[in-house]
Amino acid sequence: MKLLYFAWVRAKIGIGEETVSPPAEIRDVAGLIDWLKARGAGGADAFADLSLIKVAVNQDYVELDHPVAAGDEVAFFPPVTGG
Amino acid sequence: MIRVQQEDFDLAAELKAMTDGNHQIGGLTSFVGLVRDIAGGETVSAMTLEHYPGMTEKQLAEIEDEANRRWPLDASLIIHRHGRLEPGDQIVLVACASAHREAAFEACHFLIDWLKTKAPFWKLEDTPDGGKWVDARSSDDAAAARWAES
């Protein structure tokens, strides 16, 4: 599974992307976030307030109950500020 | 058409290319977003626009498809820049061409409102206190929400 981080989420995690193999019981975005928070490396800080986090799976916006699986591209980022 | 690029764009040349040879077009509207030198009371000397390559193009294409579904457009164009920009620089261009003005005006307004809440770009401003990530504004969400179909 490929994880991508953007803007201040990237700054807090410390890297822009990584490839991970979460345990099989991680089945949705919320579970993945809990796993990343417990792992350390800035995860607890980056995901402290989930109201500030947007999630995309395979480049489409999703909610926290959206399933995730091996091979997915999952991105975490703040609300967008383009235009 | 969608373009995501670092380079600047030439407004007149882009608009001419949209309408050249199509004499069905009676109205052409455009919106250009510029970098301001002040934000939230602080001086901004420059900004860096980060984006999510791949998802940016996908989201912009979906937004453009939606505009073409709702309004009878002869041509539409979205250009969004990324990288380092300074006050006065052009950030974004949205342009719509149609037989009549109403569709051109409304589709252009819709595109910029939706783009601001859906396209994955983030602004990092250089201020006297250092780099500062721009916060999303609830007024932008409200502007996009008014285009929701009932």
Please give the pLDDT value at position B15.
98
Given the candidates 3.30.465.10, 3.40.50.11030, 3.40.50.970, 3.10.20.30, the CATH classification of the domain at A2-77 is 3.10.20.30
- Average pLDDT rounded to a whole number, residues B61-83: 98
How far is residue B37's CA from residue B41's CA, in Å, rounded to a whole number? 10
**CB neighbour burial string for B15-32, b if at least 16 within 10 angstroms, e if fewer:** beebbeeeeebebbbbbe
Determine how β-strand B83-85 pairs with β-strand B46-51.
antiparallel
Residues of A in contact with B59 (CB under 8 A): 59
CB of A3 closer than 8 Å to CB of A16:
no
User: pLDDT tens-digit profile of B77-134?
Assistant: 999 999 999 999 999 999 999 999 999 999 999 999 999 999 999 999 998 888 999 9
The verdict on domain B2-138 having CATH code 3.40.50.300 is no
Nearest CA in chain A to B52: A6
A71 to each of A3, A58, A62, B17, B18, how far by Cα in Å? 10, 9, 16, 41, 40
The ipTM is: 0.94
CB of A57 closer than 8 Å to CB of A4:
no
How far is residue B127's CA from residue A66's CA, in Å, rounded to a whole number? 38
Interface with chain A: mutation pick from B2, B34, B50, B62, highest number of A CBs within 10 Å: B50
Amino acid identity, residue B83? G
